[in-house]
């Protein structure tokens, strides 16, 4: 069972990193190589994952806002 937990932790991490960088749920699922329903399960069963996912979404939104501001400031 410990190897399963390690694989799961690695996939969660990859999913969250990709979501944070792209803000794209489908891309995060694909990059992590997981079933699209798996994050829904993790949200229901793992409060720490839920919080981490919310943080990843905030980071992605912040990056998009910053990118938009930078584009507006270009002459």
- Average pLDDT, rounded, for the chain: 90
Sign, CA torsion 35/41/46/50: positive
Q: What's the CA gap between 6 and 68, in Å, rounded? A: 37
Q: Are 9 and 15 in contact (CB under 8 A)?
A: no
pLDDT in tens, 14-35: 999 999 999 999 999 999 999 9
pLDDT in tens, 41-68: 999 999 999 999 999 999 999 988 877 7
Question: Alpha helices, DSSP H only, in the chain?
Answer: 2-22, 25-32, 38-45, 47-73
User: Does the pLDDT value for residue 1 go beyond 70?
Assistant: no
Q: pTM for the full model?
A: 0.83
The full set of domain ranges for the chain reads 2-73
Q: What is the DSSP-derived secondary structure letter of residue 34?
A: -
């Amino acid at each position: 069972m410990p190897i399963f937990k390690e694989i799961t932790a690695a996939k969660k991490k990859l999913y969250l990193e990709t979501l944070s960088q792209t803000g794209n749920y489908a891309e995060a699922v694909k990059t992590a190589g997981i079933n699209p329903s798996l994050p829904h399960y993790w949200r229901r069963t793992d409060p720490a994952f839920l919080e981490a996912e919310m943080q990843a979404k905030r980071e992605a939104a912040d990056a998009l806002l910053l990118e938009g501001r930078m584009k507006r400031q270009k002459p």
